[in-house]
């Protein structure tokens, strides 16, 4: 009984520390080289979102536009076996070191795309928005090592993210 009580106290402390981190402003990485960031990214995990329901083999392709914005092409294999894609534009937010972008798939609506973690070699990236409602873990390869994934999850916990919500993305498709 004594240990059960101690267990619940520890759980309460962990949950209260996580919720207090959720109230802190979300920080992005200091600087992003958009040339290095360009190219294909594989979705490793995400918070569930309506527009990706039933998607697997999700990729995002980023390319610099001569007009100064980033061209974004998201692609996934739907549950019915058909490929689906959408193309949009991303605009950097001034004085953000290119770590904050506004993504537009449907004019005039723009959503926040904040790069909150990025490997030094640009092998993985973590993207969210100020309210922590969205989360994507991206990689240059279809899989990442369990050690890297665990390290990312530890950093997300410290930033106040709910670690129960991320769903791993099935990347077992032939392209």
- Using CA atoms, how far residue 19 sits from 13, 24, 82, 162, 163, in Å, is 10, 9, 40, 9, 12
Average pLDDT over residues 47-75: 93
pLDDT computed for residue 24 by the predictor? 81
Q: Is 9 helix (H, G, I), strand (E, B) or coil?
A: helix
Cβ-contact 107, 91 below 8 angstroms: no
Q: Which helix or strand (DSSP H or E) is residue 16 part of? A: helix 2-22
Between 109 and 40, where is the model more confident? 40
Cβ-contact 32, 115 below 8 angstroms: yes
Average pLDDT over residues 1-15: 38
- Average pLDDT taken over every residue of the chain: 88
Tell me the pLDDT tens digit for each residue of 78-108. Answer: 989 999 999 999 999 999 999 999 999 988 8
Lowest mean pLDDT among 9-23, 41-55, 61-75, 116-130: 9-23
pLDDT computed for residue 14 by the predictor? 42
- 86: closest CA among 114, 117, 68, 111? 111
What is the set of domains in the chain, with CATH numbers? 2-168 (2.40.128.20)
């Amino acid at each position: 009984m004594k240990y059960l009580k101690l267990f619940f106290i520890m759980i309460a402390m962990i949950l209260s520390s996580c919720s207090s981190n959720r109230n802190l402003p979300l920080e992005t990485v200091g600087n992003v080289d958009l040339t290095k960031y360009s190219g294909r990214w594989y979705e490793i995990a995400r918070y569930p979102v309506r527009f990706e329901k039933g998607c697997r083999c999700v990729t995002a392709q980023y390319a610099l536009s001569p007009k100064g914005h980033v061209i974004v092409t998201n692609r996934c294999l739907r549950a019915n076996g058909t490929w689906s894609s959408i193309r949009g534009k991303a605009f950097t937010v001034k004085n953000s070191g290119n770590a904050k972008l506004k993504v537009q798939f449907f004019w005039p609506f723009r959503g926040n795309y904040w790069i909150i973690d990025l490997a030094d070699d640009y092998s993985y990236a973590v993207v969210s928005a100020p309210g922590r409602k969205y989360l994507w873990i991206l990689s240059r390869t279809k899989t990442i090592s369990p050690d890297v994934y665990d390290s990312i999850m530890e950093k997300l916990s410290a930033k106040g993210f709910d670690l129960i919500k991320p769903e791993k993305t099935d990347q077992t498709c032939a392209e």
